[in-house]
Structure 1
């Protein structure tokens, strides 16, 4: 979901009868028309207790947008007034990537990554807020880190609660998508936590990243961005998905192919002016699931903008966008 290393060495609705992977001839739906501040990258969206929607994103010190109706968005500054000092251990500009927003235990939790392009010397941090609004966040430091000796990259966090436990998926390129268990009290990785492997590609640079994990029915669904981000109209990002009955996997697509072997049903790809769809997250509001993502607007010099589509589920339990 982030402005990610390009290589590892340098990462309800009406049902349908066929899974996403089989709908190769169907056109992809355009995103919901929106107004106001549309520029965004790697959005995470949530409806706050105040009734407002907030979208946090890569850019600035975690850029913020606010909306009352998901259709008109206003610039709301940044989550933080200035970068916490420890961010500079991971890049020289204190630039955070790919936030994830959730609500738990009476507080809003904002996870994010700090890194530099082309390295897995990276860290995921966490902050909390009573309201979820920009300017109200207290940073709590590092959640999980990776170094150049590791075979994974600690960026692109996504949080999910499952069976009374708290989990974080993360990852980019290197060996793809990983998962660790968190301590629900601190929101940080448990000491000595196993690093589970959820998805990868068969060949270098293992171009899969930006996970988002949700539960629907009896399955956990792993959404991820495949191929190349962050190249404007030359981006090839697309969103794929697999599922599992167990939070730690194995995840497979609708043909049974494991995501650890490069599987994944194609959910959304670029079409028309909407190039490089990815950096996705899934949220639920007023009984409706939504997919949030960025695309590069081919009619506006490749500017990254907010995409929102309703997310439905087929009778076979696979997601599709509307």
Structure 2
């Protein structure tokens, strides 16, 4: 290789690295990191436990649980609960909870989850606590927030964030998209009469935006959400988009300035190769890095939902890119 061609190659590589992440979107998406053991999961929430090792909770069972010592080899750990709380049957005749969210504050782990039936917004979000975060140690505390068929939102897919000394829960699916409500930090439940903020939707029916997750990086809050069709195996079209705001309650905009309330959102990850319908996402902190957790449908295994993990890199202009 000549000196001129070497310099040209280096210059091109440098230019690519400096491009905003939207310009890099045409590049192939990275595959999830290799994992072994029990890979099957849906709507994962993952945490590195204070006691060491990792836990993941998910849709399926009575909130399905997975454990790992190194974040790579996962084992089936049963369910969060031995028996479903009786109140779940009010919202689902099989007591089948969805899309949990795991967080830690005030010396306890908090597990939020939703109970509903497909296609209905007669739904509820509940909460349980544990000192260890391990399956079988949870104490349920009942309903946090509910929705009815007369509401224009759906109380499912909770995600918790602390901001400016307050506790917030984003939630929502279809029914006009993503919403947010303030919680009482002592009880972990919605403050009675609290305003329901609107964070994201899209102009085209059925307004397929759901599964929010919000984290803070630098001076911005970042709203990740799943767009399009879930739960159809290899026919799923789920993809993950993001917008940001300097206020936790919005407005959230994408890198072009388009509000997420008007259908905006930068594409973070979508299906590619065998990894179909990437979504149901959350983000956890691991060894100083942010890791995106999500499910995908494996086109080489009959569309089985599996755990995807990718580290997030933050560009100089403050946008997340999967590695």
User: Normalized per residue, which structure has more helix?
Assistant: 2
SS in 2 for 1:214: strand
Equivalent runs, 1:142-291 vs 2, <5 Å: 142-291=143-292
Q: Is the 8 A contact 1:18 1:314 kept in 2?
A: no
Contact 1:16 1:315 in 2 (8 A): no
Q: Deviations over 1:93-126 (max 9, x none)?
A: 0000000000001100000000000000000000
**Structure 1 residue 203: deviation in Å?**
1.5
Equivalence for 1:9: none
Deviations 1:234-283 (A, max 9, x none): 00000000000001000000000000000000000000000000000001
Structure 1 residue 69: Cα displacement: 1.0
Distance 1:16 1:317 in 2: 14
CA distance 1:19–1:146, change in 2 (3 Å): farther
* RMSD (Å) for aligned C-alpha atoms: 0.9
- Unaligned 5+ runs, structure 1: 1-14
Aligned to 2:34: 33
Deviation for aligned residue 1:50: 1.3
Q: Is the 8 A contact 1:114 1:124 kept in 2?
A: yes
Per the normalisation by structure 1, the TM-score is 0.95
Tell me the equivalent position of 1:101.
102
TM-score normalised per structure 2: 0.94
Aligned residue number for residue 7 of structure 1:
none
State the alpha-carbon separation in 2 of the partners of residues 151 and 22 from structure 1. 36
2:65 paired with 1:64 = yes
Moved over 4 A (4+): none
Q: Give, in angstroms, the shift of residue 25 of structure 1.
A: 1.9
State the secondary structure of the residue aligned to 1:100. strand
Secondary structure of 1:86's match?
Answer: helix
Residue equivalent to 2:49: 48
SS of match in other structure, 2:144? strand
- Tell me how far apart the structure 1 counterparts of residues 77 and 30 of structure 2 sit (CA, whole Å): 28
Q: Is the 8 A contact 1:171 1:211 kept in 2?
A: yes
Segments of structure 2 that go 5 or more residues without pairing to the other structure are 1-15
Report deviation, 1:49: 1.4
Q: How far does the alpha carbon of each residue in 1:63-98 deviate from its partner, in whole angstroms, 9 at most, with x for none?
A: 000001111000000000011000000011000000
Bigger relative contact order, structure 1 or 2 (CA pairs below 8 A, ≥6 apart): 1
Q: Deviations over 1:204-240 (max 9, x none)?
A: 1000000000000000000000000000000000000
CA distance in 2, matches of 1:158, 1:152: 15
Give the deviation of 1:18 after TM superposition.
Answer: 3.4
CA distance in 2, matches of 1:16, 1:121: 47
Structure 1 CA distance for aligned equivalents of residues 25 and 129 of structure 2: 42
| Partner residue, 1:23 | 24
Give 1:17 deviation, angstroms. 2.8
SS in 1 for 2:22: helix
Query: What are the equivalent positions in structure 2 for 1:287-302 lying under 5 Å apart?
Result: 287-302=288-303
Displacement of 1:16 = 4.1
